[in-house]
């Protein structure tokens, strides 16, 4: 009697099982399109609109100069993020877990905590702006309740993990892309949005400040780009990861921030309200789509916060084993904390957010310089992944003083040039308040790290050569 073969069912959504562990080649289901779609969709949110509005609104730049500053900043910043993204397929692990190779097993956890705080900040910021978008259309709604509902949506998506997030972002990128395109076309026909305002004037301070905002907007993705590109095949993934990430980030961010520039010129105080006021029913519909999509997009921010939280947790406690239960618990905990921050931070949001972006740039730049220099120049991509999970750090140690001290030197090198609401460096005014601290920090950090690593490795290389020559 012939027995019928068993029926194999394939679930539409796969519940994530790997967490922070390396992704096996058999489970690398990512594609160039999925990576492109993730980053396109992630930028298609009202937070990007509000950020673009800073150029024409807060700094009063003319529309043309605003768009130029945004374009240059995003092109520069996205290059760095895309280089980080290319590491994902090669190593197969989350981005900030790689920091163990440059800073040590415990040292890397410090940067995981920094990234965790950053992503929780973005999760809260997106909730606030999504709420503001919806309240423009429905002012009678309870803002706190909207935040709670939107937060719950993002948390549920994050609980399922990468597969559901990938599918969600793929469809969202199409829906929101069409929505933003329609808005842009209509706005360019409105004189109140495109006409040159009398008080709009070019300043070097404003131009370079907006350029720096573009750089930090893109580099803010650097600590988690590999969280998604690690699902690409190792053999073909690095190139796909670079271009999928780079094009997705630049095209979408410049597109949406340009929309913000036009709206900021109409209403510097409330660019989201300008969308509804200028485009009527279409603008109101766009705001609703923006609000709902932001709740979905936020799952990506929370996912990366969780990856960093798990990395820090595993580093700090010997008894902790990262399981599905651990990841879900971390997701719920991080989601609750970020939601509380959003509920408490609904007041003067833009001032707080601009300060947050500025400080974020100063903190991220030295880490980015060290990570890129180590991966592409020092190690040339050759790492021992198993050592990154050993409690003594294996060959990378528990604390890597070269990486940590180089980071501190890079951080300090920025101080004289810093421009923040709380502190302005002594060299900022002679430079007409043009923010070049991030550029100084990147160059100094990279140079110090490379010189120090080369000096530290030279005796080892010479010793190995001497042993080979002696035949031992």
pLDDT tens column, 202-229: 888 889 889 988 988 888 888 878 888 8
Q: How far apart are CA 185 and CA 288, in angstroms?
A: 19
DSSP-derived 3-state class of residue 419: strand
CA distance 261 to 187: 11
Q: What's this model's pTM, rounded to 2 decimal places?
A: 0.80
Residue 119 to residue 94: CA distance in whole angstroms: 14
| DSSP SS3 for 424 | strand
Q: Is 467 inside a domain boundary?
A: no
Beta carbons of 69 and 214 less than 8 angstroms apart: yes
Q: Give the span between the Cα atoms of 138 and 127, in whole angstroms.
A: 16
Question: Looking at residue 471, what is its pLDDT?
Answer: 52
**DSSP states along 40-97:** HHHH-SHHHHHHHHHHHTTS---HHHHHHHHHHHHHHHHHHHHHHHTHHHHH-S-TGG
Distances (CA, A) of 179 to 122, 163, 293, 331: 23, 25, 11, 31
**What is the structure's pLDDT at 152?**
92
133 in any annotated domain: yes
3-state SS record for 223-262:
HHCHHHHCCCCCCCHHHHHHHHHHHHHHHHHHHHHHHHHH
Asked if residue 429 belongs to a domain, the reply is yes
C-alpha to C-alpha distance for 391 and 203, rounded to whole angstroms: 52
Q: Residue 75 domain-assigned?
A: yes
**Beta bridge mates, 419:** 424
Q: Is residue 300 part of a domain?
A: yes
Domain that holds residue 70: 26-456
Q: How many CB atoms lie within 10 A of CB 109?
A: 23
| CATH number for position 204 | 1.10.4160.10
- Residue 3 domain flag: no
Burial class of residue 309 in the structure, from the number of CB atoms within 10 Å of its CB (0-12 exposed, 13-18 middle, 19+ buried): buried
Give Rg (Cα) of the chain.
23
Three-class secondary structure of residue 284 per DSSP: helix
Considering the domain boundaries, does residue 10 fall inside one? no
Q: How far is CA 184 from CA 68, 171, 258, 279, 385, in A?
A: 17, 20, 8, 10, 46
Residue 458: C-alpha distances to residues 185, 381, 461, 465 (Å): 59, 19, 5, 11
- Give the pLDDT confidence score for residue 323 in this predicted structure: 76
**Long-range Cβ pairs for the range 394-400 (8 Å, 24+):** 396/100, 396/101, 396/104, 396/105, 397/104, 397/105, 398/104, 398/105, 398/106, 398/107, 399/103, 399/104, 399/106, 399/107, 400/102, 400/103, 400/104, 400/107
pLDDT (0 to 100) of residue 348:
62
**Torsion, CA 328, CA 329, CA 334, CA 337, rounded to 10:** 140
Query: Does residue 18 belong to any structural domain of this protein?
Result: no
Count of domains for the chain: 1
pLDDT along the chain (472 residues), means of 10: 42 55 78 82 80 88 93 93 91 86 90 85 86 88 91 85 66 75 82 72 88 86 84 82 92 90 86 85 84 80 84 76 80 91 73 68 88 93 90 90 96 90 84 83 95 80 49 50
CB-based contact 276:65 (threshold 8 Å):
no
Question: Cβ-count burial of 131 within 10 angstroms (0-12 exposed, 13-18 middle, 19+ buried)?
Answer: buried
């Amino acid at each position: 009697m012939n027995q019928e073969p068993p029926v194999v069912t394939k679930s539409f959504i796969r519940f994530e099982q790997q967490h922070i562990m390396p992704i096996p080649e058999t489970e690398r289901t990512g594609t160039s399109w999925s990576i492109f779609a993730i980053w396109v969709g992630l930028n298609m949110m009202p937070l990007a609109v509000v950020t673009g509005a800073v150029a024409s609104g807060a700094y009063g730049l003319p529309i043309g100069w605003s768009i130029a500053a945004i374009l240059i900043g995003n092109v520069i910043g996205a290059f760095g993020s895309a280089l980080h993204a290319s590491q994902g397929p090669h190593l197969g692990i989350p981005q900030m877990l790689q920091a163990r190779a440059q800073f040590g097993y415990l040292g890397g956890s410090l940067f995981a905590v920094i990234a965790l705080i950053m992503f929780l900040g973005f999760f809260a910021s997106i909730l606030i702006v999504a709420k503001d978008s919806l309240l423009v259309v429905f002012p009678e709604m309870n803002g706190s309740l909207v935040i709670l509902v939107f937060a719950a949506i993002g948390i549920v998506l994050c609980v399922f993990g990468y597969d559901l997030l990938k599918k969600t972002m793929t469809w969202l990128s199409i829906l929101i892309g069409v929505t933003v395109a329609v808005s842009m076309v209509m706005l360019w026909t409105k004189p109140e949005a495109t006409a040159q305002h009398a008080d709009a004037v070019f300043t070097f301070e404003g131009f370079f400040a907006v350029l720096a905002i573009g750089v930090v907007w893109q580099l803010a993705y650097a600590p988690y780009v590999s969280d998604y590109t690690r699902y690409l095949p190792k053999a073909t993934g690095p190139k796909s990861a670079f271009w999928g990430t780079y094009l997705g980030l630049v095209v979408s961010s410049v597109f949406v921030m340009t929309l913000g520039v036009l709206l900021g010129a109409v209403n510097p105080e409330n660019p989201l309200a300008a969308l509804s006021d200028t485009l009527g029913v279409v603008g109101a519909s766009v705001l609703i789509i923006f609000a709902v999509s932001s709740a979905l997009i936020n799952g990506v921010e929370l996912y990366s916060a969780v990856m960093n939280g798990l990395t820090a947790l595993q580093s700090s406690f010997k008894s902790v084993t990262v399981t599905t239960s651990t990841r879900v618990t971390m997701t719920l905990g991080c989601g609750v904390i970020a939601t509380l921050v959003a509920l408490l931070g609904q007041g003067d949001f833009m001032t707080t957010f601009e300060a947050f972006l500025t400080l974020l740039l100063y903190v991220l730049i030295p880490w980015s310089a060290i990570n890129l220099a180590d991966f592409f120049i020092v190690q040339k991509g050759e790492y021992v992944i198993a050592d990154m999970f050993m409690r003594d750090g294996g060959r990378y140690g528990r604390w890597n003083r070269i990486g940590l001290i180089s980071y501190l030197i890079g951080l300090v090198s920025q101080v004289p040039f810093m421009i923040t609401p709380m502190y302005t460096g002594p060299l900022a005014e002679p430079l007409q308040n043009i923010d070049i601290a991030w550029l100084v920090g990147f160059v100094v950090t990279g140079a110090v790290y490379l010189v120090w690593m080369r000096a530290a490795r030279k005796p080892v290389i010479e010793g190995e050569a001497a042993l080979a020559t002696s035949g031992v």
